[in-house]
Structure 1
Amino acid sequence: MTRPEAEDVTAKHKAKIDPHDQRSFVNNALHLIICAAGILGFFFAFGVYQEKIVQGKYDGNDKFTYTQALVFFVCAASSIFAYFFMGDGGHDNVPKRYYVSCAASYLLAMLSSNQALQYLPYPTQVLAKSFLFIVFGVALFMYKDKKTAQAEGGIGWGEILLILSLAFDGTTTSIQDQIKTHYKRTALSMMFYMNFFASIFLIIGLVATGELFEFIAFVQRYPEILWSLSIFAISSCAGQYFIFKTVHEFSPLTCSIITTTRKLFTIIISVIFFSHPISERQMVATFIVFACLFLDAMGSKKRPK
């Protein structure tokens, strides 16, 4: 190769390294770090305050049992959040009956999931809800020794509620797939309408069952719980926002890897913060579940489209 030719190749190589591309890479990396930090941080706070509210003891023996009120805080805050952020771009052509049915299944899933915390520790709920398809790992984690099983009275309700929650989650996903396939919508418009209709259902349920008045009386006795409820609801909204942002700017797979990591840290933090007893068998089960998930995510990345 002659010297002029070599200089020409070098010039072309330098031209390919566009400073704009380098800046774009740095910006993307920063955005990804921000999104990951947002998901991990806000859902960490969400998990801690959810467990603190539902499984905490007030004035010694009093417990928070107002599941509808708890879910209402999340749904109302999420609908307000989505309404302000979607602006004029939130219009879609989805028939409202789809959102109503989707909101109903979404609501029943959340009610079942939160009610399950009355019977099961948070780490069990996180594993069972998210990873039921990895049967061996979850079964190993939830297996109880004979002495423990005989000592506990209300065995079964927590598991039943989790199964119901999973069934309603599946229904919600199915309806959402129909909406995505056949209609024009945005993530924030879907977030708004689902939470808006769920909030209406909850207001009716709160009044009809009398739970609203019991909840107000509870708050009057323990006004400090409003602080926990506010952080719980805000954390949920902000966490959902960063999930939508990650899916939009990167990919569902990237979001899946981040949320899987978040759930692993949620279990670890829950065990540390709330002193949940965890056996060696359960530690092995947790490792099996998350190892399978990460391997599946890596396999999905390499799999041809």
Structure 2
Amino acid sequence: MKLLHAFALCALLFPIEAPPVSIPLSQSSWHSFWLFRLTINLIGYSTVLVPAYFLIQHLKKIKYNETGSGICFPYVMTCVFGRDVAVADSQPTSSPGAPVVETVSTPRYRGFVLLCCAAGLQASYLTWGVIQERIMTREYGKQDGVPGEKFTNSQFLVFVNRLLALTVAGIYITVFRQPKHSCPLYRFSFASFSNIMSSWFQYEALKFVSFPTQVLGKACKVIPVMLMGKVVSGNIYEVYEWVTAGMLSVGISLFLLSSGSGSAQDSSGLDSAGAYSPMVASFSGLILMLGYMAFDSFTSNWQGKLFKVHKMSSIQMMFGVNLFSCIFTSCSLLEQGGFFEAFAFMMKHWDFAVHSVILSICSAVGQLFIFYTISEFGAVIFTIIMTLRQAFAILLSCFIYGHPVGLLGIVGILVVFIALFLRIYARSRKSVINKTASTTTKV
């Protein structure tokens, strides 16, 4: 019952509306509906996960790490049991013969590096957002008198993104020597599964909500997290957290109220033109956005746990997660015939192939900027940069794709991002005060 209450509160805070452009009947039939696609994808993933689970349990049961031998033994140890790594060996070392580069840490140099990181993040993810919206919400091949068609296979987009990210991480690991760590390879699969699911939910949500709505929903995911924490776990939050959460809910409500409603449809599921009704579209958009938030939250928490326990580098994390993402999505796509479907679409629409490549490049390069920015300047600076990116993404999407945003919507956007910056500032100040108090106590 508590979960139902929390879900109802989320629905009130996120009154997601259908986008102005309705989805044609050819794309809204049962075999293309997101729930059917999700079920088929999960079945495909289970053909890898279930046998792997029983194999790992069997190897642990027979204590293969103590009794095993042969040519496969080191690979099984790496994948299932991990390696015992001494503390001294866990530190990264440079490649043999690599030149020694002195680190320049002047304020001017660090400011220049920060500017480059901010520019790289903005360019990568703003381009990524524009291309993502183009692929998922616009038709290809539409001309005078010739109907176009939309690309609907979100899983293929997840695959191409992860494939290029895996390639980039693999090249980096080959060129630059990485620290040894004790993490069994299979543990990356948990974050990988949640990562591909969050990406899939994100792509599918664009079929039911506008891109600005999705960006604001992602920026405001703190609201359902706090509600769930309070209702389910009884968590206690600071006053500033409740105040900024209230500002976020007010801001997104103002934006959604100014966005206008979709086309006139009945509530039977499909209207006479063969499009999803507002009820179906709104509910689907809400579920998909909540699914994205849930899986995305798990991914970051699980990765943080692996970083803390096994002391690996961010590039090793990037490689491990994307490796399993490619395995899961490729197996599922092969079983469904998704590769043939996507390649056939590419042959008909070469601009889609170009868009897919650009999307993958932006995603891979963006990941590198993320890891470097966090390691050099910390999570607070990174959060500020990405918050600005969300604001720019909304403005760019409205400018390019003509999303109507009135004065009320602009006020709502400003309220949302003021709340986010206040939250970052309050959290940073609290961290400084706690650190100062801790130092004083020790003295």
TM-score, with length taken from structure 2: 0.61
User: Is residue 252 of structure 2 the alignment partner of residue 138 of structure 1?
Assistant: yes
User: Is residue 106 of structure 2 the alignment partner of residue 24 of structure 1?
Assistant: yes
Which amino acid in structure 2 is aligned with residue 184 of structure 1? Answer: K
User: Per the alignment, in what secondary structure is the counterpart of residue 224 of structure 1?
Assistant: helix
From 104, 108, 116, give the equivalent of 2:197.
108
Preserved CA contact (<8 Å) 1:91 1:189 = no
Shift of 1:231: 1.0
Match of 2:411 in 1: 284
CA separation of 1:145 and 1:234: change in aligned 2, threshold 3 A = closer
| Paired positions, count | 286
**Per-residue displacement from partner, 1:208-228 (whole Å, max 9, x unpaired)?**
222221111111111222111
Match of 1:50 in 2: 132
Match of 1:170 in 2: 297
User: Per the alignment, in what secondary structure is the counterpart of residue 251 of structure 1?
Assistant: helix
Match of 1:259 in 2: 386
User: In 2, distance between residues paired with 1:147 and 1:300?
Assistant: 37
Which amino acid in structure 1 is aligned with residue 302 of structure 2? Answer: I
User: In 2, distance between residues paired with 1:252 and 1:94?
Assistant: 24
Which amino acid in structure 1 is aligned with residue 324 of structure 2? Answer: F
Shift of 1:73: 1.0
User: Is residue 380 of structure 2 the alignment partner of residue 293 of structure 1?
Assistant: no
User: Per the alignment, in what secondary structure is the counterpart of residue 152 of structure 2?
Assistant: coil
CA separation of 1:81 and 1:285: change in aligned 2, threshold 3 A = same
User: Is residue 155 of structure 2 the alignment partner of residue 68 of structure 1?
Assistant: yes
Preserved CA contact (<8 Å) 2:133 2:206 = yes
**Per-residue displacement from partner, 1:56-101 (whole Å, max 9, x unpaired)?**
2112230011101111111111111111113321642222232111
Identity of aligned residues (%): 28
CA separation of 1:174 and 1:232: change in aligned 2, threshold 3 A = same
From 250, 261, 265, give the equivalent of 2:377.
250
User: In 2, distance between residues paired with 1:224 and 1:149?
Assistant: 29
CA separation of 1:145 and 1:23: change in aligned 2, threshold 3 A = closer
**Per-residue displacement from partner, 1:180-208 (whole Å, max 9, x unpaired)?**
22112111110111111011100011112
Shift of 1:29: 0.9
**Per-residue displacement from partner, 1:256-281 (whole Å, max 9, x unpaired)?**
11111111001100000110112333
User: In 2, distance between residues paired with 1:43 and 1:282?
Assistant: 23
Match of 1:215 in 2: 342
Structure with more helix by fraction: 1
5 Å-filtered alignment, 1:68-87, equals 68-86=155-173, 87=176
Shift of 1:299: 2.0
CA separation of 1:145 and 1:249: change in aligned 2, threshold 3 A = closer
Match of 2:398 in 1: 271
TM-score, with length taken from structure 1: 0.87
**Per-residue displacement from partner, 1:101-158 (whole Å, max 9, x unpaired)?**
1100111010001111111111111110221223332344335888648547133212
**Per-residue displacement from partner, 1:41-64 (whole Å, max 9, x unpaired)?**
111111111111111211223001
Query: Which moves more between the two structures, 83-92 or 107-116?
Result: 83-92
CA separation of 1:254 and 1:76: change in aligned 2, threshold 3 A = same
User: In 1, distance between residues paired with 2:291 and 2:308?
Assistant: 26
User: In 2, distance between residues paired with 1:147 and 1:267?
Assistant: 18
User: In 2, distance between residues paired with 1:22 and 1:50?
Assistant: 38
User: Is residue 201 of structure 2 the alignment partner of residue 201 of structure 1?
Assistant: no
User: In 2, distance between residues paired with 1:64 and 1:227?
Assistant: 14
Match of 2:187 in 1: 98
User: Per the alignment, in what secondary structure is the counterpart of residue 106 of structure 2?
Assistant: helix
User: Is residue 364 of structure 2 the alignment partner of residue 237 of structure 1?
Assistant: yes
Q: Structure 2: where are the runs of 5+ without partners?
A: 1-102, 143-147, 224-247, 266-275, 436-443
Q: Structure 1: where are the runs of 5+ without partners?
A: 1-20
Alignment root-mean-square deviation, CA: 2.2
Preserved CA contact (<8 Å) 2:398 2:404 = yes
User: In 2, distance between residues paired with 1:186 and 1:267?
Assistant: 33
